[in-house]
Amino acid sequence: MQDRDLSEYSPSLSSTSRHLSCDHQLCEWGSNCKNPKDPCPYIFNYDDFENTTSAGFLVEDELHLASVGDHTARKMLQASVVLGCGRKQGGSFFDGAAPDGVMGLGPGDISVPSLLAKAGLIQNCFSLCFDENDSGRILFGDIGHASQQSTPFLPIQGTYVAYFVGVESYCVGNSCLKRSGFKALVDSGSSFTYLPSEVYNELVSEFDKQVNAKRISFQEGLWDYCYNASSQELHNIPAIQLKFPRNQNFVVHNPTYSIPHHQGFTLFCLSLQPTDDSYGIIGREYAPLHVGFAYLFSLTIMV
């Protein structure tokens, strides 16, 4: 299946689009409306970028999907979903982030997979698969395989607000560090991976000890731990392993971002950043490192 060039979505150009009114049961901000029939507003703050927000109004429209199967003919389906049409973007969105928009895939009632499941079109689960070029596919209703690894999602104050998981311990190469675990948000909308500051400091210190390359200061980059290595030089890049409950492991065999031929060398950086939050964020840049694997989110059994 080939990727398509997509144009910007405009409700006025869609014959099936309609505004969600403030008195609609899915309108969370309806109490702020002056008129219950006004378009339902939304505002969303993103955890992974400081001061990054999106605000606008909600619309309902038809999503066109193709069913897939090994032994069945492909069928075209139409499903009603709720979209957020951004009118005011703040922070990183001003610099061109998310040019194609952001799709709601969370565990809430208004997310796309939840609405598809309520309509009886799929089971309440979906999978994501990425390639090296940050392109990928979403399969709604994918239940995966019985042999796949899984770890439970964690509620926050009794509610499943996002895809939080518990990291019990973590290792760099063959060295498993002793600091206690932490919560992490699995977020396909985040470009990068963040760790709580204390976890980050311990992990990058151990990585720096094990890597066989010269650390340099790279002012143009986003990361603090960058290294130079000639094309002939063999450098050992230790894997990073996150250990989850149920004895499940997530291994990133090469947790670096490479910039070839930087001043005659290959520059690579450990693609981790610290955060002052008590939880980490597992971002999208680690997903292409597991090419051929799908990340499955089951809202039915919350794993």
Residues 170 and 289 in one domain: yes
CATH of the domain at 290: 2.40.70.10
Within a domain: residue 202? yes
* Domain end position, chosen among 73, 102, 131: 102
Q: Is the dihedral of CA 286, 288, 289, 295 positive or negative?
A: positive
Within a domain: residue 121? no
Question: CA 214, CA 236: separation in Å to the nearest integer?
Answer: 12
Note down the domain range covering 70: 11-102
Within a domain: residue 128? no
Within a domain: residue 287? yes
| pLDDT reported for residue 37 | 94
| pLDDT reported for residue 218 | 80
Report how many domains make up the chain: 2
Question: CA 57, CA 55: separation in Å to the nearest integer?
Answer: 7
Q: Which two tokens stand for residue 101?
A: 């928009």
Tens-level pLDDT at each residue, the chain (303 residues): 455 566 778 888 899 999 999 999 889 888 889 999 999 998 887 765 556 788 899 999 998 888 876 666 678 888 888 888 888 887 766 565 555 556 788 898 888 999 899 989 889 999 887 766 666 788 898 888 877 888 999 998 888 989 999 999 999 999 998 777 899 998 877 778 899 999 999 999 999 999 988 888 887 778 899 988 765 555 678 999 999 988 888 888 888 888 776 566 678 889 899 999 999 998 876 654 444 557 788 888 888
